[in-house]
Amino acid sequence: MANPHKQFHLAVFLLAGGHHVSGWRHPEADALGVHDFQYYKRLAQTAERGKFDAFFFADVLGIGQNDKRFDPSNVRLDPMLPLAALAVVTERIGLVATVSTSYNEPFNVARRFATLDHLSNGRASWNVVTSFKSQEANNFNQHSLPDPSLRYEKAREFVQVVKGLWDTWEEDALVADKESGIFSLEEKIHDLNHEGKYFSVRGPLNISRPPQGHPVIFQAGTSEGGKELAAETAEAVFTAWSTLEKAQEYYRDVKGRMARYGRAPDQLKIMLGLIPIVGRTEEEAERKEQELQSLLLPEVGVAKLSYMFGYDLSPFPIDEPLPQTFNLGDAHGASRRFQPIKDIADREQLTIRQLYERYAGNRGHLQVRGTPEQIADVMEEWFVAGAADGFNILPPYLPGGLDDFVDLVVPELQKRGLFRTEYEGTTLREHFGLSRPANRFH
Amino acid sequence: MANPHKQFHLAVFLLAGGHHVSGWRHPEADALGVHDFQYYKRLAQTAERGKFDAFFFADVLGIGQNDKRFDPSNVRLDPMLPLAALAVVTERIGLVATVSTSYNEPFNVARRFATLDHLSNGRASWNVVTSFKSQEANNFNQHSLPDPSLRYEKAREFVQVVKGLWDTWEEDALVADKESGIFSLEEKIHDLNHEGKYFSVRGPLNISRPPQGHPVIFQAGTSEGGKELAAETAEAVFTAWSTLEKAQEYYRDVKGRMARYGRAPDQLKIMLGLIPIVGRTEEEAERKEQELQSLLLPEVGVAKLSYMFGYDLSPFPIDEPLPQTFNLGDAHGASRRFQPIKDIADREQLTIRQLYERYAGNRGHLQVRGTPEQIADVMEEWFVAGAADGFNILPPYLPGGLDDFVDLVVPELQKRGLFRTEYEGTTLREHFGLSRPANRFH
Residue of chain B minimizing CA distance to A75: B207
Q: Closest partner residue to A78 among B61, B111, B297, by Cβ? A: B111
pLDDT in tens, B127-177: 999 988 888 999 999 988 888 888 999 999 999 999 999 999 999 999 999
**What's at B289, amino acid-wise?**
E
**How sure is the predictor about B332, in pLDDT bands with cuts at 50, 70 and 90?**
low
Instruction: Report how far residue A27's alpha carbon sits from residue A366's, in angstroms, rounded to the nearest whole number.
Output: 23
SS3 category, B279? coil
pLDDT at B331: 63
**How sure is the predictor about B92, in pLDDT bands with cuts at 50, 70 and 90?**
very high
Instruction: Report how far residue B75's alpha carbon sits from residue B77's, in angstroms, rounded to the nearest whole number.
Output: 7
pLDDT in tens, A191-206: 999 999 999 999 999 9
DSSP character at residue B312:
-
Cβ pair A74:B183 closer than 8 A: yes
Cβ pair A108:B112 closer than 8 A: no
Q: Give B104's contacts in chain A (Cβ within 8 Å).
A: 105, 108
**What's at A180, amino acid-wise?**
S
Instruction: Report how far residue B52's alpha carbon sits from residue B98's, in angstroms, rounded to the nearest whole number.
Output: 18
From the CA of A387, how many Å to the nearest CA of chain B?
35
From the CA of B160, how many Å to the nearest CA of chain A?
14
Q: Closest partner residue to B181 among A112, A142, A297, by Cβ? A: A297
Cβ pair A203:B139 closer than 8 A: yes
**What's at A245, amino acid-wise?**
E
pLDDT at A290: 93
Residue of chain B minimizing CA distance to A116: B81
Helix (H) or strand (E) holding A423: none
**How sure is the predictor about B439, in pLDDT bands with cuts at 50, 70 and 90?**
very high
Q: Give A62's contacts in chain B (Cβ within 8 Å).
A: 107, 202-203, 206
For chain A, the farthest-separated pair of C-alpha atoms sits apart, in whole angstroms, at 80
Residue environment code for A240-273, b if the CB has 16+ CB neighbours within 10 A, otherwise e: bbbebebbbebbeebbebbeeeebebebbbbbbb
Cβ pair B112:A300 closer than 8 A: no
CA B197, B199, B204, B209 dihedral sign is negative
Q: Give B295's contacts in chain A (Cβ within 8 Å).
A: 181
- Cβ–Cβ under 8 Å, residues B121 and B425: no
From the CA of B186, how many Å to the nearest CA of chain A?
5
For chain B, the farthest-separated pair of C-alpha atoms sits apart, in whole angstroms, at 80
Instruction: Report how far residue A138's alpha carbon sits from residue A186's, in angstroms, rounded to the nearest whole number.
Output: 43
Arithmetic mean of pLDDT over chain A: 93
Tell me the average pLDDT across A265-290: 96
For chains A and B, CB pairs below 8 A equal 220
Q: Closest partner residue to B63 among A32, A78, A206, by Cβ? A: A206
pLDDT tops 70 at residue A4: no
Q: Give B60's contacts in chain A (Cβ within 8 Å).
A: 206
Cβ pair A32:B89 closer than 8 A: no
pLDDT tops 80 at residue A336: no
**How sure is the predictor about B361, in pLDDT bands with cuts at 50, 70 and 90?**
confident
Return the higher-pLDDT residue of A336 and B50.
B50
- Judge residue B441's burial from the number of C-beta atoms within 10 Å of its C-beta, 0-12 exposed, 13-18 middle, 19 or more buried: middle
Cβ pair A85:B141 closer than 8 A: no
Cβ pair B75:A138 closer than 8 A: no
Residues in Cβ contact with B28 at an 8 Å cutoff, skipping those fewer than 6 apart = B397, B400
Residue among A40, A65, A80, A81 with most chain B CBs within 10 A, to mutate: A81
pLDDT in tens, B261-310: 999 999 999 999 999 999 999 999 999 999 999 999 998 899 888 888 88
Residue of chain B minimizing CA distance to A121: B36
Instruction: Report how far residue B304's alpha carbon sits from residue B312's, in angstroms, rounded to the nearest whole number.
Output: 10
- Cβ–Cβ under 8 Å, residues A236 and A271: yes
SS3 category, B347? helix
Q: Give B183's contacts in chain A (Cβ within 8 Å).
A: 17, 24, 31, 69-72, 74
Q: Which of A41-50, A239-248, A328-337, B223-232 has the lowest mean pLDDT?
A: A328-337
Tell me the average pLDDT across B369-397: 97
From the CA of B290, how many Å to the nearest CA of chain A?
16
How many residues in chain A? 442
pLDDT in tens, A69-123: 888 889 999 999 999 999 999 999 999 999 999 999 999 999 999 999 999 999 9
DSSP result, B154-207: HHHHHHHHHHHHHTSB-TT-EEEETTTTEEE-GGGB----EE-SS-EE----SS
pLDDT at A225: 84
pLDDT at A68: 86
Residue of chain A minimizing CA distance to B189: A68
With helix as H, strand as E and coil as C, how does chain A read? CCCCCCCCEEEEEECCCCCCCCHHHCCCCCCCHHHCHHHHHHHHHHHHHCCCCEEEECCCCCCCCCCCCCCHHHCCCCCHHHHHHHHCCCCCCEEEEEEECCCCCHHHHHHHHHHHHHHCCCCEEEEEECCCCHHHHCCCCCCCCCCHHHHHHHHHHHHHHHHHHHCCECCCCEEEECCCCEEECHHHECCCCEECCCCEECCCCCCCCCCCCCCEEEECCCCHHHHHHHHHHCCEEEECCCCHHHHHHHHHHHHHHHHHHCCCHHHCEEEEEEEEEECCCHHHHHHHHHHHHHCCCHHHHHHHHHHHHCCCCCCCCCCCECCCCCCHHHCCHHHHCCHHHHHHHHHHCCEHHHHHHHHCCCCCCEEEEECHHHHHHHHHHHHHCCCCCEEEECCCCCCHHHHHHHHHHHHHHHHCCCCCCCCCCCCHHHHHCCCCCCCCCC
Residues in Cβ contact with B65 at an 8 Å cutoff, skipping those fewer than 6 apart = B135
In chain B, % helix, strand, coil (3-state, to 5) comes to 40, 15, 45
User: What whole-number percentage of chain A has pLDDT above 90?
Assistant: 76
**How sure is the predictor about A153, in pLDDT bands with cuts at 50, 70 and 90?**
very high
From the CA of B34, how many Å to the nearest CA of chain A?
9
State the virtual CA torsion across B65, B68, B70, B72 in degrees, nearest 10. Answer: 110
Please name the residue ranges forming H helices in A167-198. none
Cβ pair A183:B84 closer than 8 A: no
Residue among B206, B212, B292 with most chain A CBs within 10 A, to mutate: B206
pLDDT in tens, B220-268: 878 888 899 899 999 999 999 989 999 999 999 999 999 999 999 999 9
Residue among B32, B57, B78 with most chain A CBs within 10 A, to mutate: B78
User: What whole-number percentage of chain B has pLDDT above 70?
Assistant: 98
- Cβ–Cβ under 8 Å, residues A399 and A46: yes
Cβ pair A202:B69 closer than 8 A: no
**What's at B141, amino acid-wise?**
N
The half-sphere exposure of A333 on its side-chain side, counting CA atoms within 13 A, is: 19
Residue among B22, B74, B91, B205 with most chain A CBs within 10 A, to mutate: B74
**How sure is the predictor about B4, in pLDDT bands with cuts at 50, 70 and 90?**
very low
**What's at B316, amino acid-wise?**
F
Cβ pair A68:B184 closer than 8 A: yes
ipTM of the complex: 0.94
The half-sphere exposure of A387 on its side-chain side, counting CA atoms within 13 A, is: 22
Cβ pair B37:A88 closer than 8 A: yes
Residue environment code for B186-203, b if the CB has 16+ CB neighbours within 10 A, otherwise e: eebbbebebeeeebbbbb
Which residues sit opposite A216 in a β-bridge?
A: A125
Cβ pair A139:B186 closer than 8 A: no
SS3 category, B95? strand
Residue of chain A minimizing CA distance to B139: A201
pLDDT in tens, B8-38: 999 999 988 888 888 999 998 998 888 899 9
- Residue A313 phi/psi, 5-degree rounding, is -95, -5
Q: Please state, in angstroms and as integers, the Cα–Cα distance from residue B261 to each residue in B219, B257, B258, B390, following that order.
A: 17, 8, 5, 23
Arithmetic mean of pLDDT over chain B: 93
- Judge residue A89's burial from the number of C-beta atoms within 10 Å of its C-beta, 0-12 exposed, 13-18 middle, 19 or more buried: middle
User: What whole-number percentage of chain A has pLDDT above 70?
Assistant: 98
From the CA of B175, how many Å to the nearest CA of chain A?
9
- Residue A32 phi/psi, 5-degree rounding, is -105, 10
Tell me the average pLDDT across B97-111: 97
pLDDT at A2: 39
pLDDT at A16: 81
- Residue A42 phi/psi, 5-degree rounding, is -60, -45
- Cβ–Cβ under 8 Å, residues A292 and A396: yes
pLDDT in tens, A168-226: 999 999 999 999 999 999 999 999 999 999 999 999 999 999 999 999 999 987 888 88
